[in-house]
Amino acid sequence: MTSFTLPLLSTSLLASAGGVIGCKLARTASVARARAIASAGASLLLAIVGAVAFDAVEVPFLRDPLLPVVGVDTASALLLPLPAMVAVAVLLLAPRDTLSRSGTVDVLWTLGATTLMFSAGDLGLLTLAWTLAALPLPRLLDGRRDSRRALAGLALSALPAIAATALVVAHAGSVRIWSPETVPLAAHSQQIALVLILVATMARTAIVPFHGWLVRLLDDGFGPLALVLASPLAGLYVLLRFGAILPGAFPRDLPWIAGLGLMSAIAFAILALGQTRQMRTALYLVLSQYGLILMGLGETDDLTVGGTLVLWMSQSIGGTGFLLMALGVEWRRGRISLDRHHGLLRGAPSLAAAYFVFGMSVVGLPGTLTFVAEEILAQGLLIDHPWLASGFLAVTATNAVGFLRLFGRVFLGSWTAESATCADLRPHEKVVAFALAATLLAAGFFPAAILRDRGSWAHDITQREHEVSGARDTR
Amino acid sequence: MSDPVKLLGLVTACSPLVSAVFVGVLLWGQGRPSERPIMLATRLAFLGSFCASVALAATVGLEGRPHILEFGSWYTVGGHRFELTFLIDRLSILMMLLTSGACSLIGHFSITYLHNERGFARFFLLLNIFAFGMLILVMAGSVDFLFVGWELVGVTSALLIAFFHERREPVLNGLRAFLTYRTCDLGLLVGTILLHHYAHEAELSSGLGTADWVSGATHLDPFHSTVVALLFLVGAMGKSAQVPFSGWLPRAMEGPTPSSAIFYGALSVHAGVYLLLRSAPLLDASPGASAVVFGVGATTAFLCTLSARVQTDVKNSLAFATQVQVGWMFMEIGLHLYSLAAVHLAGHACLRTWQLLRSPSILRDMHILRSEIGHEAAPHRWLGHLERILPTGASLRLYQLSLDRFRIDELVHRIVLRPFMIACCRLAELDNRFVSPSRKPQRLTRSLEDAHR
């Protein structure tokens, strides 16, 4: 069996495309939003069904019967629901004014491109989808203040990836992603391709110093689109896919990839403590955790890579929820400075509770999935890489303190007439936030199934790295 | 659940969790729910937990041997298994009874004490989570599992210190306590991971060698025992407010009196002592670590007894007195007098809970007593007989230092926190210039002022 019985993925892509057209034709923003929610919801449902169907059969990959160039394998089956989940959360929870009609079109476009990227079976298609996902951003940023560096960052996320793909395709022609074969590329060319793809990954994942574009998008009111683009951490997926195709370049360079990730995590943890703006502090806390994920992917043992893949999922969902709550606070109260306490808890208790749960799930409260992931990561790191582990533990501790400081400044403090203007979550927002928080907590309490799936992927990744290292040692 | 002992263990630990979920859902749905269902759920949960712990103690006590209750593994990945086990032995029975008993008592007390308080539901949500965390901490069969309870206790503690969140001080003090906890928890976390590495497991019974408390022996060599014991000591010092991590405890008294009683009188402050008691086999194998434990306890007891003598309010006096007694417990553990330390812990927890719960009405009682006696009590010498021996200058200097709490907080702030916060702010300024070059630089001075706190 090599293909699904039903065209799940092509239908999902069609749903996104239909959603884009539907939103473009909508007369009002609220109609566009309703259509976008329906479209993203359908994508989510199909992605979950696809992942479950793949899990039920023991084959390396499954193709879509209508579009054989898209499908799922162990890696993409786990990640496919993420972009749709993020998009649904964003469409349901993002403040009304931050999503215009064209905003919903952009969100669905990015969702469709990211879904195509996660399900692409060919390297060229993957890179095309990766580039298309960021296509709406130059238009949005064009002409805005300080946009030059942000645009440069976005270009850095696309152009090196295209160059690396061109380099590989020039030598090997069409490159399959599922069950990949090693590309016959000279060692120095593999190194060049790896550096290019690493730059692209760092730029799209907003690793220091490529985070400017994400900050600008959030500052300029394009938070929802920024979240749909950044939260599924598609950059890391591209890095792993290239890692499978160019295994010769990877093992040798893993320590410095881990080091880059840790440096970024430390830098953002420190920046989060020094910031005086709520939104930036929240963003930097999440970006610091992204750095930890990059660090974990630079390791070569099952435990660390397995923990990292779980952290990937928990940060993707928890980080989205947390940043949406932070956006919600800014939308209600304007830009929040951390110079003083704002005391919003009394007027907006549900918003405060959701902010707290999502924030704690980002920094790893026991009972959340991040706690489990970080525990596994620490176990994996400490023995073989005590210095990385020390940095990792310091970052987790600093981020927890940074979050509690942020929460204290925003929600605690005296009740004033000014803080009374902050409205609480609306009933439908409460339901969505509750569902998202419950998902994170349930996954934290019962992580076995998630870990089993990610564990097998982690094993695939590390197995390949060990095989290549072994072959090189033999030579 | 076929095994009744397992069922009792599960009811003891999980009743507060069920109540917490119930209160949490009510709070989420209604904003400010009625007190009655919260009251009922909490009473039922704490009573259920207490009764189950008594039954468990009776069952295990009659058999006279420790029980390891296995509930499978929480997760397994890459050869690492996180086992969900409870170790029920003499020490955990003592702590379990103390925890469920104190929670029942203080839960009952708080219902009246916090009646009509705006944060009534929030308080009971946090109290239930704390009770669950504390029970996990004392019943856990592995250091991994103990760490889960340890973290929950830390987070709820910080949030309850900041309970009266409309005042600035409690909020800052809560953050300070959390900062100390998080820093010291790294010791416990690293110690746990190293224990995994050295002993290939983190079960208390086999990995730590504490199956038969207190006569068990570890199979780790002295060097490894010393490393793990010292790391556990760092964790214990944070939770039990020992010098130099002692500054947060007097500040923590900003929370409501019932939470002060349960956290800093009865349970949380003794979590560090419990951890060290559990680590007895490691300390037996490591004279060096035992000496450090003794030294930490002695230093804290000495400094805090002097500070306690110059306090002018009840709760602060009790906070310092607690630190002194916990310091004594550390000294007892350092001298390997584990049973004495356990008895001391139980007695101290009961006495301090009673004193803290009585503290709001103690001034009124004093006034009544004075009016009955008809005169003021004679002023006491702050150093007792020692004051006669010491030169006046030295006595005054010591008095000043005691008032300043030996400047421990100030030193920690000056040497560690302030430089760190300055570096954070400078980096943030650079980042702002990099990300938004055309915008006005942010004013970061206030952050530096906050670093003072």
pLDDT per position as a tens digit, B262-317: 888 889 999 999 999 999 999 999 999 999 999 999 999 999 999 988 888 888 88
- Percent of chain A whose predicted confidence (pLDDT) is above 70: 93
* pLDDT at position B377 over 70: no
User: Does the pLDDT at position A247 exceed 80?
Assistant: no
Q: Where are the alpha helices (DSSP H) in A246-363?
A: 250-274, 278-297, 302-333, 349-363
Shortest Cα–Cα distance, A84 to chain B (Å): 26
ipTM of the complex: 0.88
pTM given for the model = 0.91
Of A273, A340, A447, the CB nearest to B75: A447
Flag the least confident range among A121-125, A154-158, B422-426. Answer: A154-158
For chain A, the residue count is 475
- Tell whether A377 lies on the interface with B, counting CB pairs under 8 A: no
3-state secondary structure B221-270: CHHHHHHHHHHHHHHHHHHCCCCCCCCHHHHHCCCCHHHHHHHHHHCHHH
Contact B77 A212 (CB under 8 A): no
User: CA A129, CA A123: separation in Å to the nearest integer?
Assistant: 10
Number of other CB atoms surrounding residue A48 within 10 Å: 15
pLDDT at B451: 46
The C-alpha angle A116, A122, A123, rounded to 5 degrees, equals 95
> What is the distance between the alpha carbons of residues A66 and A4, in angstroms, rounded to a whole number?
10
Judged against a pLDDT cut of 60, whether residue B2 lies above it is answered with no
* B442 in Cβ contact with B428 (< 8 Å): yes
Indicate if the pLDDT at residue B52 is higher than 80.
yes
A66 burial type by CB count under 10 A (0-12 exposed, 13-18 middle, 19+ buried): middle
Contact A274 B31 (CB under 8 A): no
Predicted local distance difference test score (pLDDT) of residue A288: 97
Min CA distance, A15 vs chain B (Å)?
A: 34
pLDDT at A299 exceeding the cut of 80: no
Q: How do strand B67-77 and strand B80-88 relate by DSSP bridges?
A: antiparallel
> What residues contact B60, with CB distance under 8 A and at least 6 apart?
B5, B66, B67, B88, B89, B93
Q: Would you place residue B94 in the very low, low, confident or very high pLDDT band (cuts 50, 70, 90)?
A: very high
**The pLDDT of residue A10 is above 50:** yes
How sure is the predictor about A60, in pLDDT bands with cuts at 50, 70 and 90? confident
Quote the distance between the C-alpha of residue B363 and its chain's center: 27
Give the number of other Cβ atoms within 10 Å of residue B445's Cβ. Answer: 11
Contact in structure between A290 and A402 (CB atoms under 8 Å): no
Strand-pairing partners, residue B69, are: B86
Question: How far is A85 from B5, CA to CA, in rounded Å?
Answer: 42
Q: Which residue has the higher pLDDT, A287 or B76?
A: A287
Of A212, A375, A455, the CB nearest to B434: A212
Minimum CA–CA partner of B426 in chain A: A274
Reported confidence tier of residue B452, pLDDT bands at 50, 70, 90: very low
Residue whose token pair is 């008294």:
B253
A224 touches chain B (CB under 8 A): no
Is pLDDT at B11 greater than 90 in this prediction? yes
Q: State the Cα–Cα distance between residues B146 and B192, nearest whole angstrom.
A: 10
- Find the helix or strand (DSSP H, E) in which B360 lies: helix B338-373
Q: In the predicted model, what is the mean pLDDT of residues B344-371?
A: 87
How distant is the Cα of A178 from the closest Cα of chain B, in angstroms? 23
Q: Which residues pair with B77 in a beta bridge?
A: B80
Burial (CB count <10 Å: 0-12, 13-18, 19+), residue A459: middle
Which pLDDT value is given to residue B203? 85
Find the mean pLDDT for residues B135-162. Answer: 94
Note the pLDDT of residue B444: 52
- Distance linking the first and last C-alpha atoms of chain A: 37
Q: In chain A, which residues have their Cβ closer than 8 Å to the Cβ of B133?
A: 366
Answer whether A38 touches B (CB < 8 Å): no
Strand partners, A71: A63
- The gap from C-alpha A137 to its chain's centroid, in whole angstroms, comes to 17
Looking at residue A400, its pLDDT comes to 94
Q: Considering only residues A134 and A244, tell me which one the structure prediction assigns the higher pLDDT.
A: A134
Contacts of B260 (CB under 8 A, 6+ apart): B252, B253, B315, B356
Residue found under tokens 């949960």: B45
Backbone angles phi, psi at A220, to 5 degrees: -90, 10
**Digit-coded pLDDT (tens) for A374-386:** 988 888 887 778 8
Structure tokens at A420: 């009374």
- Look over chain B and give the mean of its residue pLDDT values, rounded to a whole number: 88
Closest B-chain CA to A392: B186
Grade residue A251 by pLDDT with cuts at 50, 70 and 90. Answer: low
Per residue in B181-233, pLDDT (tens digit) is 999 999 999 999 888 888 888 888 877 776 677 777 788 899 999 999 999 99
Decide if A380 touches B, using CB distance below 8 A. yes
Measured distance CA(A323)–CA(A308) in Å, rounded = 21
Dihedral sign (CA A291, A293, A297, A302): positive
> What pLDDT, on a 0 to 100 scale, did the predictor assign at position A470?
61
Give residue B407's region: left, alpha or beta (phi > 0; psi -120 to 50).
left
- CA dihedral sign of residues A428, A422, A370, B429: positive
Which position has the token pair 């994996």?
A380
Nearest CA to A322 among A398, A235, A420, A223?
A223
Lowest mean pLDDT segment, chosen from A5-14, A34-43, A302-311: A302-311
| Token pair of B290 as six digits | 């035992």
Q: Which of A219, A273, A394 minimises the CB distance to B424? A: A273
Cβ-defined contact of A270 to B424 (cutoff 8 Å): yes
Contact B353, B265 (CB under 8 A): yes
Instruction: Quote the pLDDT of residue B240.
Output: 95
* Mean pLDDT calculated for residue range A162-182: 83
pLDDT tens per residue, range B168-194: 889 999 999 999 999 999 999 999 988
Mean per-residue pLDDT, B331-354:
95
Q: Which residue has the tokens 């564990």?
A: A455
Instruction: Tell me the percentage of chain A whose pLDDT exceeds 90.
Output: 45
Rounded Cα–Cα distance for residues B401 and B394 (Å): 10
Strand, helix or coil for residue A142: coil
Q: Does the distance separating the beta carbons of A394 and B75 come in below 8 Å?
A: no
Res B35: pLDDT: 93
With 90 as the cut, is the pLDDT of residue A307 above it? no
Which of A246-250, B161-165, B245-249 bottoms out in mean pLDDT, i.e. has the lowest? A246-250
Q: Which of B187, B297, B298, B310 is closest to B250 using CA atoms?
A: B310
Mean pLDDT of A296-320: 87
What is the distance of C-alpha B109 from the center of its chain? 20
The pLDDT of residue B376 is 66
CA distance B149 to B132: 7
CA distances for B297 relative to B227, B305, B345, B349, B382, angstroms = 19, 12, 14, 17, 22
CA dihedral (A366, B121, B171, A331) in degrees, to 10, reads 80
pLDDT at B381: 67
Q: Over 50: is that where the pLDDT of B448 sits?
A: no
Encode pLDDT of B395-414 as tens digits: 888 888 888 888 888 898 89
What pLDDT does residue A201 have? 93
The pLDDT score that the predictor gives to residue B236 is 97
Chain-centroid distance, C-alpha A415: 36
Are B404 and B330 in contact by the 8 Å Cβ rule? The answer is: no
Cβ distance of A267 and B428 shorter than 8 Å: no
pLDDT of A467:
64
Asked whether the predicted pLDDT for residue B328 surpasses 80, the reply is yes
| Greater model confidence, A389 or B363 | A389
| Pure H helices in B69-142 | 90-113, 120-139
Asked if residue A166 has pLDDT above 90, the reply is: yes
- Contact between residue B247 and residue B407 where contact means Cβ atoms under 8 Å apart: no
- The stretch B344-355 carries a mean pLDDT of 94
Question: Hey, which residues does B67 pair with through a beta bridge?
Answer: B88
Please indicate whether, in this complex, the C-beta atoms of B78 and A380 are within 8 angstroms of each other. Answer: yes
Q: Sign of the CA dihedral B217, B219, B224, B227?
A: negative
**Which residue spans within A22-69 are E strands per DSSP?**
61-63
Cβ–Cβ < 8 Å for B307, B234: no
Can you read off the two tokens belonging to residue A38?
A: 């329906």
For residue A312, is pLDDT > 50? yes
pLDDT of residue B393: 85
Q: Cβ distance A296 to A332 under 8 Å?
A: no
> Degrees (nearest 5) of the Cα angle B370, B372, B376?
25
Please state, in angstroms and rounded to a whole number, the distance separating the CA atoms of residues A421 and A342. 11
Minimal CA–CA distance to A392: which of A282, A299, A323?
A299
d(CA B227, CA B90): 26
